[in-house]
Amino acid sequence: MPMKPLFLILTSILLATTLARAAEKRPNIIFVMADDMGWGQTGYRGHPVLKTPNLDAMAANGLRFDRFYAGSPVCSPTRASVLTGRSPDRTGVLTHGDALRRQEKTIAQALKTAGYVTGHFGKWHLNGYRGPGAPILRDDPMSPGTFGFDEWVSVTNFYDQNPLMSRQGEITEFKGDSSDIVVDEALKFIEKHCAGDQPVFTVIWYGTPHSPFRALPEDKAAFAALDAASADHYGELVALDRSVGVLRAKLREWGIADNTLVMFNSDNGGLPKIQPETVGGLRGFKGTTFEGGIRVPAIMEWPAVIQPRVTSYPACTMDLFPTVADILGLPREVMVQPVDGKSLKPLLTQEMGPRQQALPFRYGSKAAWVDDDYKLVTEDLKKDQFMLYDLKQDPQETHDLSAETPERFAAMKAAFLKWNEAADASFAGKDYPEGRVSPPDPESLAWYESEAYRPYIEGWKNRWEYQSYLNGSPKGKGKKAKKED
């Protein structure tokens, strides 16, 4: 046998053995997610003004994904995809503020059953409330605790400086930048449990760099030449990056970094009107199914297993639950079927070749179907007008190939429409044992228009993050809350 193939075979065996041994020890698992951070907003992608030394270090020591997708171009649906491994359309979470169905099965529930201690920290946005982040109430039937989290310090939506948060129903006011706060709370949880017999599953969902932008003076000092909103926006990302550094440093200090899988990504693409632009030259922004709306920065670090490298393999938030289930050998039944993600376990040690399972995206009338290097996209499903792009040759989606490659176009369109029908059936509840949605999906509403939060309104109406919502007309408040996600 030639030496090169033999070497590759032996290397693959060694890497597979390493992964198996790490899995036997049951790694700690940490999912970290930014809020509205664009694909171009890292130092390692050469951003012109933003420095992210800690994310850069994480990327240099882990698996950097250059084609990683959020499950949706807005936040709540992506969060549902992380927890379930399914397209958010199947789970009932079509847009921001929709509630995750209790009939869904989550990664937190699966890991809790498998012996993990589970914790959620930060933005939740899966309990049916719109509006700025408010502390999740103790008796909220859609709290993180309902979906498998043992401990949580969480808010309904985006949160910023000096936030009010809920520690399993106990409302607490924190001081400082939200990124520093949420990582500090998560580290308390990890430190409390890491010396015990149970591994930990920790979810850290930032409120950064979502509007309203408000950075600490020292964090935005380097951006004095930018307009005020952009300076605060980038200042928030400075704080986020710092908190990632604190997280990584503590894992090393406690001697648990090697067998801790840390996944970092954003919940959707970058924002328009921020300068310098947020999406690294891609087309579209948050809210669109063009690359700028769904392609996001992503890094997976697991020193005991992953050899540092950059991959262009197309992956997605829907892949995270299947990957963890595969690593731990969990049964298929821990997820509601069908799932739209696939396990990335082989990718942790070597490249996987072309992706065989397409990635589906649907948001309102917008949709996309990513089949390895090719992408079908429409801005209006009702008009039946689709475009086809070769993302390898044309990542900016400027040259429509639908007329030039009619056979590929027809095949991809047919595949998407077949999936689209299946997603509609899932949305109707056909995937559940009952064959229907039970209980019915609650109506999404602004938390300050709900009876549950009425006792808190008077005490909160002068807080800076709530003033514009609580001191205006009900009609105006509702419109603003619906716009904000």
Domains present along the chain, CATH in parentheses: 21-348 (3.40.720.10), 359-427 (3.30.1120.10), 445-483 (no CATH)
Measured from the Cβ of residue 147, the count of other Cβ atoms closer than 10 Å reads 24
Q: Catalytic one among 47, 75, 233, 316? A: 75
- Are β-strands 63-69 and 309-311 bridged in parallel, bridged antiparallel, or unpaired? parallel
- Are β-strands 117-123 and 200-205 bridged in parallel, bridged antiparallel, or unpaired? parallel
Contacts of 5 (CB under 8 A, 6+ apart): none
For residue 125, indicate whether it is catalytic. Answer: yes
Q: How far apart are CA 228 and CA 159, in angstroms?
A: 19
Residue 165 has phi, psi (to 5 degrees) of -135, 170
Q: What is the pLDDT of residues 130-169, one digit of tens each?
A: 999 999 999 999 999 999 999 999 999 999 999 999 999 9
Nearest to 231 by CA among 49, 40, 466: 49
Q: How far apart are CA 79 and CA 33, in angstroms?
A: 9
Model pTM? 0.94
Q: Give pLDDT, residue 474.
A: 41
Q: How far apart are CA 240 and CA 206, in angstroms?
A: 8
Q: Give pLDDT, residue 168.
A: 98
Q: Catalytic one among 120, 125, 193, 210? A: 125
Q: Give pLDDT, residue 471.
A: 87
For residue 75, indicate whether it is catalytic. Answer: yes
CA-derived radius of gyration, the chain = 22
Geometric angle at alpha carbon 248, from 245 and 251, rounded to 5° = 145
Q: Give pLDDT, residue 25.
A: 86
State which amino acid sits at residue 42.
T
Contacts of 251 (CB under 8 A, 6+ apart): 190, 257, 260, 262
Q: Give pLDDT, residue 478.
A: 42
Q: How far apart are CA 99 and CA 143, in angstroms?
A: 10
Q: Which parts of the chain register pLDDT below 70? A: 1-24, 472-485
Contacts of 119 (CB under 8 A, 6+ apart): 149, 150, 151, 152, 186, 189, 190, 200, 201, 202, 203
Q: How far apart are CA 152 and CA 33, in angstroms?
A: 16
